[in-house]
Structure 1
């Protein structure tokens, strides 16, 4: 029986997951990675550590499931986005990869972000994107910049090792500020603005297409078949969408991890960059997606947990089963700044309306409500675009039934929780590997998982939460004015 391998190159770990033809998960392993921070605001990784981690993961999977491992016929890739992996003429890495959460190029991003850039890419040029990093190199490391022959995103450097091919795909490339996102092609204009040409860029494919084949030496080393195909794959959020079946226009997912993501698949390209809403290509051909991001979601609960010295599950578990009315206490969840809709790296969090009898439960509710309002801001950032009928909940925050019912009420849409299982980026990557090998209709592959629970908006409380959201929105300009002063 054929099997398929998904490799998800994250920031803190590399995950390898093996599925069968029926998409059942056979085995998975995770290998930790470390981040170097040599200066304030810098975040780097040695690309060689990704190769070492992948080798370890493959050996561990082989040891766990030798027969299933030997039956691999397709490999899919997912990975952390935006990182700049810079290669010289000899194909060797010139410097550590500058990661997505590195902020050194904030001045270069500001200089690149103008009407022309937004018209081409459909997005604000954020400091975390790839193009500003190369602009920073051009100004601060001119010798290395002059030696640059190719720039690869992290997962695409892993692909280079796997296949010998310099290739990227649309969903990841859309986060570089070099892609004409509507045309799904490199932009000569944006490349020229950072002193580069298309010769510096990898070849582009769609996420479900074959990008190359596993090198014979690696196949022999790991006891694998010859001619194993490697799919284009996807950036981490697009691959996660493939994992949970967000593969048709109007479908979406809500991720409540350390940060929060509201991801909606769209049939057309309709960017609204002024709202700091990301508009990227999907990993599936013919689709795009819009993505609102709040930088602190479950991270806010973790902050409160440390402050009160209580586990997050205990804090949320103390709340009544029934959804309460909106609290008078307001929380702005901007612990690390905010992305959508403010694009404000300087703003910070606020608790407003503290009273003498404010207790732990009231603060917990305020934190959950604040994040929910922030996700409503992400939903509203899409303007008049059709809203999804329901959202699939993923991430650590989805373990709280209270929070999911609150989210459903604030977002005014059904929130569903998948049955237990692994439906993340590594699973989505494995599905992309299956699609590349078989050429099957994506609709038959990227199906949604079984649903364990459904959370509907509490109709009697929708109006009250709408009004509370308006009060929440009024806080930002007031706080911004104080901080600016």
Structure 2
């Protein structure tokens, strides 16, 4: 028996074929691009997701899919995919890092019901304020909305013909009663919607539907392949990395940056700007701090100086004491702990001696300091992090991981060869749906090495972080 995990990311769609023993047998990917037609906007065409999924499945089919029994889905969160009554897409999907709805988010957040019921601030990138923006700025489109789906759940519609979401992704919409794990009729009504506009809800490890026969024939899958509920990208990564019990945590260096900790139970603290969401497993929750630009910031700098991002980090040795140059990675606003859609990034303390390598170090330090802010916000809720598992493309940089370990004062564990992120987590959820297995199969990956904080640099990083915080306050006042 085998299963497939599909992860719909911002920059690409990835698929993995996984055996019953959880060994990865094959993987495939297809790129995606983002459209930014106006400042603060970020969109994708859902048809591009389907084309990417077809490409990935075509690639995996070369390895033989006759033993597949389940498919799990993971994906970028918060995206507003608007369909009419015939399931036709009404406009490009408004993505998670789109900040156009900042005024609508502030208005919804001022209604005390939203924080009380969802356990979270209404961030501009969440789904509900995007619908409020569409209602205000594209009323003809809003009037035609028959269903609102999250990105991965549009893939599910294509795969199964079913309108279904799961708890971890739904928790990022600002419409979910996160403690009760159900849609809130009051919050939907506050944005001019009803439960009829929403997909039905399942847990991430439950069966959400079965693969359409025509697609099964196309790729050589058997009849009755189940599609698991799946998870939002971070919750699925938590399942993939075995971060499912309280006290376990990971740091993800992807387009965005995430500090993710499994929680003891549902204990929201929205005033900290920490996200408190349902996990992708039943009766489980998690907390996370989110920064909007991690590898996105490094890739931006690489384009600026005309170099490859991997080459830039390879030029550096072990972390050194931060220099005078500071970098604030707020290229498109920030979530935790600032909740500021208008703040923008900056280089400060530039001097004659500042060269390309110094700029690279400042970028790595700046992202690490933003993650330290997330750690402090999580600590304010009572969440303690003793160690981190490193995930995401940026984790290939030993220098960056050592920088994060030193800035946060927490050792970082590097998994052995293999990808234990969202696609793998989605495959594990498929295995649960297909076999009835539970969280016990979501074990941590084998660890290749542990990167400890460089204690000789602790004081220097503490001082630099204090300057970083002062700079963030100053820049915020100018936004």
Instruction: State the match for 1:412 in structure 2.
Output: 409
Aligned CA distance change for structure 1 residues 303 and 215 (closer, same or farther; 3 Å): closer
Rg bigger for which structure?
1
Counterparts of 1:40 and 1:397, CA distance in 2: 26
Aligned CA distance change for structure 1 residues 354 and 122 (closer, same or farther; 3 Å): same
Give the 3-state SS of the residue equivalent to 1:331 in structure 2.
strand
Counterparts of 2:298 and 2:416, CA distance in 1: 24
When the two structures are aligned, how many residues end up with a matched partner? Answer: 477
Aligned CA distance change for structure 1 residues 216 and 317 (closer, same or farther; 3 Å): closer
Provide Cα deviations, 1:279-304, integer angstroms capped at 9, x if missing partner: 21111122212121222223333344
For the aligned residue pairs, the C-alpha RMSD in angstroms reads 2.2
**Is 2:276 the counterpart of 1:286?**
no
Instruction: State the match for 1:344 in structure 2.
Output: 340
**Is 2:20 the counterpart of 1:21?**
yes
**Is 2:270 the counterpart of 1:273?**
yes
Structure 1, unpaired ranges of 5+: none
Aligned CA distance change for structure 1 residues 176 and 475 (closer, same or farther; 3 Å): same
Structure-2-length-normalised TM-score: 0.93
Provide Cα deviations, 1:116-138, integer angstroms capped at 9, x if missing partner: 21111122212221111222222
| Contact 1:249–1:287 (Cα < 8 Å) also in 2 | no
Counterparts of 2:234 and 2:396, CA distance in 1: 20
Counterparts of 2:39 and 2:400, CA distance in 1: 35
Provide Cα deviations, 1:127-164, integer angstroms capped at 9, x if missing partner: 22111122222223333323322211121122122222
Aligned CA distance change for structure 1 residues 41 and 437 (closer, same or farther; 3 Å): same
**Is 2:219 the counterpart of 1:230?**
no
Provide Cα deviations, 1:394-420, integer angstroms capped at 9, x if missing partner: 223322222222211221111011112
**Is 2:240 the counterpart of 1:243?**
yes
Report matched runs for 1:358-369 at 5 Å.
Answer: 358-369=354-365
Please state how far the C-alpha of 1:56 moved relative to its aligned partner: 3.1
Structure 2, unpaired ranges of 5+: none
Bigger Cα displacement from structure 2, 41-50 vs 235-244: 41-50
Please state how far the C-alpha of 1:389 moved relative to its aligned partner: 1.6
Counterparts of 1:160 and 1:360, CA distance in 2: 47
Give the 3-state SS of the residue equivalent to 1:70 in structure 2.
coil
Counterparts of 1:412 and 1:168, CA distance in 2: 37
Counterparts of 1:478 and 1:110, CA distance in 2: 22
Aligned CA distance change for structure 1 residues 297 and 161 (closer, same or farther; 3 Å): closer
Counterparts of 2:328 and 2:35, CA distance in 1: 30
Instruction: State the match for 2:63 in structure 1.
Output: 65
**Is 2:111 the counterpart of 1:112?**
no
Bigger Cα displacement from structure 2, 286-295 vs 463-472: 463-472
| Contact 2:293–2:330 (Cα < 8 Å) also in 1 | yes
Counterparts of 1:166 and 1:357, CA distance in 2: 57
Aligned CA distance change for structure 1 residues 463 and 215 (closer, same or farther; 3 Å): same
Bigger Cα displacement from structure 2, 216-225 vs 275-284: 216-225
Please state how far the C-alpha of 1:361 moved relative to its aligned partner: 4.2
| Contact 2:124–2:341 (Cα < 8 Å) also in 1 | no
| Contact 1:16–1:57 (Cα < 8 Å) also in 2 | yes
Instruction: State the match for 2:170 in structure 1.
Output: 173
Counterparts of 1:39 and 1:363, CA distance in 2: 28
Instruction: State the match for 2:5 in structure 1.
Output: 6
Give the 3-state SS of the residue equivalent to 2:287 in structure 1.
strand
Aligned CA distance change for structure 1 residues 57 and 373 (closer, same or farther; 3 Å): closer
Provide Cα deviations, 1:71-118, integer angstroms capped at 9, x if missing partner: 100110111211222223333333333322333323222211123211
Report matched runs for 1:362-401 at 5 Å.
Answer: 362-382=358-378, 383-401=380-398
Aligned CA distance change for structure 1 residues 186 and 456 (closer, same or farther; 3 Å): same
Instruction: State the match for 2:133 in structure 1.
Output: 136
Give the 3-state SS of the residue equivalent to 1:280 in structure 2.
strand
Structure-1-length-normalised TM-score: 0.92
| Contact 1:267–1:286 (Cα < 8 Å) also in 2 | no
Instruction: State the match for 1:43 in structure 2.
Output: 42
Counterparts of 2:375 and 2:217, CA distance in 1: 49
Please state how far the C-alpha of 1:180 moved relative to its aligned partner: 0.9
Aligned CA distance change for structure 1 residues 89 and 420 (closer, same or farther; 3 Å): same
